[in-house]
Amino acid sequence: MSTVTTREPSAPRTSAAPTRAAHAAGGTRESRTRIPFGRLLWVELTKMFDTRSGFWLLAGIGASAVVATGLVMTLGPEDVQVYSSYAAAIGVPMSILLPLMAVLAVTTEWSQRSVLTTFTLEPRRSRVLAAKALCAIAVGALSMLAALGIAALGHLLGSTLGDTPAVWDISAQNVATLVLANVIGLVMGFTLGVVLRSSPTAIVAFFVWSLVLPNALYVLGTVQEGFADVQPWIDFYYATNPLYEDVPTGEQWAQLATSGTLWLVLPLAFGLWRVHRAEVK
């Protein structure tokens, strides 16, 4: 007698490939969890104050403005008791400290190996770098305006104690170009940080660019007449000097744009390309 075995119907097979609906749901979920750019700005701004180097560097910016103002007020002769002298005095430390702040805003994470966490939380590296750049520029511009305010208060106090009239020999346009010059130096520090991604190397490179290279090009311009003619168009540091003195002319703006493309725009584009292709460890 034969036995008949019955086999239960098997469950219908399901494809392992995700359906279009799943793709759509995943895309919607990903867009919903995207980090807002405002939050990135706040995080990067917080990072600038979190580390000891960042905190004391920002504190040093304020302290240098107070010290420079005090020196002009107490030691400067009567003929230099004008607002331009105070502004020039605070411009010297600002031209050094602000670019260093921008360098550290980029390189600190690479030095402390926290960049892996940052790019894991926000894989779009361009958004992180944009947030760092905007925060550095905003802090630098506000620091410069605050320092100019301290210089104005020092000038008022000095004129009151010395019983001399306050001389405001800087126009609003001069103040704007002075702030712009320091912001350009800050962006140069940011560019070196993006290209080199090492705090000591980028800081040394900045001092070479701001101290050694201008003197070398100046000497070259004095011995080579042909180079002296084209120096304003290719020497970025030389082209930024009119911003500290007065409102540049049309030709000087063109020279600033041309040399800035060579020394600022192209290196920054190369640095951004390297960061996007760099292996984060």
What is the per-residue pLDDT for 128? 92
Give domain status of residue 24, yes or no: no
Q: Does residue 78 lie in a domain region? A: yes
**3-state class percentages of the chain: helix first, strand second, coil last, to nearest 5:** 80, 0, 20
Is residue 183 one of the residues assigned to a domain? yes
**pLDDT value, residue 261:** 94
Give the burial string for 35-45 (b: 16+ CB within 10 Å, else e).
eeeeebbebbb
Residues 117, 60 contacting (CB under 8 angstroms): no
Q: Residue 64 has which token pair?
A: 């240098």
- Rounded to whole angstroms, what are the CA distances from 66 to 76, 143, 148, 172? 15, 12, 10, 22
Instruction: Please check whether residue 12 lies inside any domain of the structure.
Output: no
Task: Print pLDDT tens along the chain (281 aa).
Answer: 444 444 444 444 444 444 444 444 444 444 446 789 899 999 888 888 877 777 888 888 888 888 888 888 888 777 778 888 888 888 888 888 899 999 988 988 887 778 888 888 888 989 999 999 999 999 989 988 888 888 889 888 888 887 788 888 888 888 889 889 999 999 999 999 999 998 899 999 999 998 899 889 888 888 888 888 898 899 998 899 888 888 888 999 999 999 999 999 999 999 999 998 887 77
Question: With contact defined as beta carbons under 8 Å apart, do 98 and 140 qualify?
Answer: yes
3-state secondary structure 124-172: CHHHHHHHHHHHHHHHHHHHHHHHHHHHHHHHHHHHHHCCCCCCCCCCH
pTM of the full structure: 0.82
* Res 2: pLDDT: 44
Q: Does residue 261 sit within a domain?
A: yes
Cβ neighbours of 221 (radius 10 Å)? 18
pLDDT at residue 33 in the model:
62
Domain-embedded: residue 16:
no
Specify the pLDDT at position 11.
Answer: 45
**C-alpha Rg value of the chain to the nearest Å:** 28
Measured distance CA(220)–CA(235) in Å, rounded: 12
Task: Quote the CA–CA distance of 171 and 245 in Å, as a whole number.
Answer: 11
Domain tally for the chain? 1
In a domain, 10, yes or no: no
- The separation between CA 188 and the C-alpha centre of its own chain, rounded to angstroms, equals 7
Q: Which residues touch 1 (CB under 8 Å, ≥6 apart)?
A: none
What's residue 17's pLDDT? 43
What is residue 254's predicted lDDT score, i.e. its pLDDT?
Answer: 95
- Whole-angstrom CA distances from 84 to 87, 170, 173, 205, 272 are 5, 6, 13, 30, 38
Residue 241 located in a structural domain? yes
Q: How many CA atoms lie within 13 A of 64 on its CB side?
A: 20
Structural domain range at position 247:
36-277
